[in-house]
Amino acid sequence: MSVDNTATEKQVDTAVVAKKIEVEVTRLNHLAGWQRMIFFFLSLVGVLVAIFYIFGFTFRGQVLIQVQYYWIFIGIFIACVFIAMPARKKDKTRLPWYDMIIALAVLGICIFFMYNATDMQISGWKNIPLAIAIWLIMMEAARRGGGFSFLLVVLILGLYPLIADVLPGIMHGIPYDFPSIIDSGVFREEGMMGITTKIVAEIILGFLVFAGVLLASGAGDFFIGLANALLGGVRGGPAKVSVIASAFFGSLSGSVFSNIVGTGAITIPTMKRVGYPPHYAGAVEACASTGGTIMPPVMGAIAFVMAVTINVEYSVIMVAAIIPSVLFYFGLLMQVDAYAAKVGMKGLPKEELPTVRSVMVKGWPFLAVMIFLIWGLLFMRWEYMAPWYASLLMIVLSFFRRETWMTPKKLFATFRQIGELITQTAAVIIPIAFVVSALTITGVTGSMTAGLVKLGGGNLFLVLLLGIIACYIMGMAGLSIVAYIFLSVTLAPAIIKIGGLDMLAVHLFIVYYAMLSGITPPVAAGAFLAGTIAGAPPMKTAFTAMRLGIVIYFVPLFFVFQPAMVLQGNLFPLLYILPTCVAGIALIAGGAEGYLIGVGPVQSWARIPLVIAGFLLSFPTVMMTLIGLAASAVMVLLVWIGNRKRLLKV
C-alpha cells in the first residue's frame, strides 16, 4: 500500500506543522513579505558567519576572534527576537515601529562592540551607557522568550549583587554596584562573553541547524509515519504512536512546546478518535514530548549546558541518558497499553496505516542521517561538528528523490526554520548570563553548598529532598536551565560531598527534576498546551500527565544511587538491576493506571500498595529490592485472586 493513499499521510505535512509551531511562538506568517525577508536575511547571515567562525575560515588572512563572533551572533539573533516574537498579544499580526527600532538598535550596538572587540580584550575597553542599553534589551528578550516569570527570576538573581552583603546566611556575598554588575554581565567571560553565549553560538548551534534542516525536509512526517506503521494497528496504537513519534521529534527539536504542537496536532485527534478521552490524549502527548528533551541522540539545550559545566564530552551524556530515557518511555507505553486493555480499545484499521516498506522507501534518508549523526558523535568523536556534517549529508541525500530536492523555496523554508529555532533558544539562554555572572562575582556558590549541607544535617536523603524541591520551584517558572546552572554549583557539590556519589549521575538527577514542572501542577505549561490542543480542561490534563509520567519522578533516584544505570563505574550490577527495574516499573504503571498487564484490573485499595511495591522492587539496592520482590509477589497474588473471585461471581 502506498503511503500517499493512507489517511495517516493525509493528516498534515511538514509545512503545516511548521506553520502551527509559528502560530504558537512567532508572528512571521502574519508579517509583510519584506519583513519576513529581513528575518530570513538575518538568519542566513547569522548562520554563514557562524560557519565562517566555527570552521576557522579566513578572509584576507583574517579570522574572527571569539568576542567579535559573539557580538555579531548576539546582534543578529536578538534583533530577530524583536522581529519574530511579539511583545503583546495584539502585536501577533503586525510588526510595530518600536520593535524595528529595538532590532536596529541592538544590531547597531553589537556591531559597534564587535569593532572594538580587540580593545576590549587588550585594554579592557568598555562603554557602560551602551552596555546598559544592551542589558535592558536582553531583559525584554528574556520576557518575550520565557515569559514574565522568567524575566522576574533573571532580573532578581541578576541584580542580587546589589544587596548581597545585607542578606543573611547562605545568601551573604560580596556586594557590587550597578555599573559593576553591568560591566561583569555584558563584557566579561562570566557574563555574555562566556558560557551562555558559547552554548548557543558554538555548542548547540550545529544541532539547531541540523534540527531545522530535518524538520524543513519532512522528518517529522517520516517519524510519525514510521511509528504508525509499527504500532498504529495494535491495541491503543495511536497513543503508542504519540509516545514513539514524540520521542523522535523531541530529540530533534529539543523543545517541549514545539514537540507538543508539531506531533500533537496529528496524534491527539487520532487518540481521541479511537476512544482516548481528550484529557488523556493531551496528557500522553505532554509526557511524551517532555521526555523528548532527555532522549538521545540530540536531547535538549540543558544537556549541552551540562556537558560544558562538568567538562565532559557530549557523547558521554548522550550515552548516559539512554537507559533512564528508555525506562521512562517504557513506563509510559505500559500505562497507555494498560488503559487500552482496561477499556477494550482497538488500534487503527489496517487500511488506514502505511506499511514499513512504503515509509522507508520515502524516508530512508532521515534514518540514514540519524545513524550518521550517532556514528559521528560516538565513534568519530566529532562532538559539536557532527551535526554540521549531518546537515550537509541531509541536503545531499535530499537530491536522491525529486520530491525532496532542496529547491530555492525549500531552502528559504529551511533557513527560516533554523532562524526560528536559534532565535527562540537565544532569547532564553543568553539572558541567563546575568544570573551566572551574579552568582560568580559574589562568591555565593561556595557558601550555598556549605549551607545546604548544614541545612540537611549531613543527611543525604534530606539534602536530595531539598534539591528536588528547589528544582521544582525554579522549574515552575520555566527555568529548567537556570535551575540546573544554579544547582549545579550549589546542590551538586553538597550531594557529592555527603554521599560520595557519581558526579555525572548527580548532575543528571538535577536535569531530570528541573524539567518535571512541565507536567506537574500548578504550572504544568506543557500539559496545559497539550490540553488546549485536545480541547480538555488544562488542570485535569496536568494531573493525568503527572500520573502517566510517574516513572520520571522515580528514575533519577534510581540512577543517583546506582551509577551503573547511567553507564558509569562498574556495569556488572546492570545484570540484576535492569530486570528488577523493568518489572518494578511495570508494577508502578499497573498501580497508577489501575490495570496490570497479564493479571487484569487492579482493585482500588491495591493501587497505591502496588506502586509502592514496584518502587521498592525497582530501587537499585539489594535490601530494598528483596523487600520489594516479596511485597510485589504478595500484591500481584492478591490482585490475581481478586480478579479470579470477580470472574467466578460473573
Q: What string of H, E and C letters represents the secondary structure of 365-401?
A: HHHHHHHHHHHHHHCCCCHHHHHHHHHHHHHHHHHHC
**Rounded-to-integer distance, Cα 435 and Cα 182, Å:** 12
**Rounded-to-integer distance, Cα 379 and Cα 313, Å:** 12
Do the beta carbons of residue 641 and residue 603 sit within 8 Å?
A: no
Q: Is 209 helix (H, G, I), strand (E, B) or coil?
A: helix
**Rounded-to-integer distance, Cα 205 and Cα 221, Å:** 23
* E strand segments, 199-258: none
State residue 446's pLDDT score: 65
Q: For 121, phi and psi rounded to 5 degrees?
A: -75, -40
How far are the Cα atoms of 87, 96, 244, 404, 532 from residue 90, in angstroms, in the given order? 9, 10, 37, 37, 20
State residue 80's pLDDT score: 96
**Rounded-to-integer distance, Cα 621 and Cα 624, Å:** 5
Do the beta carbons of residue 571 and residue 612 sit within 8 Å?
A: no
Regions of the chain short of the pLDDT cut 50: 1-24
DSSP state string for 480-515: HHHHHHHHHTTHHHHHHHHH---HHHHHHHHHHHHT
C-alpha cell at 216: 524543513
Do the beta carbons of residue 516 and residue 256 sit within 8 Å?
A: no
> Which one, of 548, 545, 549, lies nearest residue 534 by Cα?
545
How far are the Cα atoms of 34, 214, 430 from residue 426, in angstroms, in the given order? 23, 20, 5
State residue 44's pLDDT score: 94
**Rounded-to-integer distance, Cα 231 and Cα 251, Å:** 19
Do the beta carbons of residue 327 and residue 581 sit within 8 Å?
A: yes
State residue 634's pLDDT score: 95
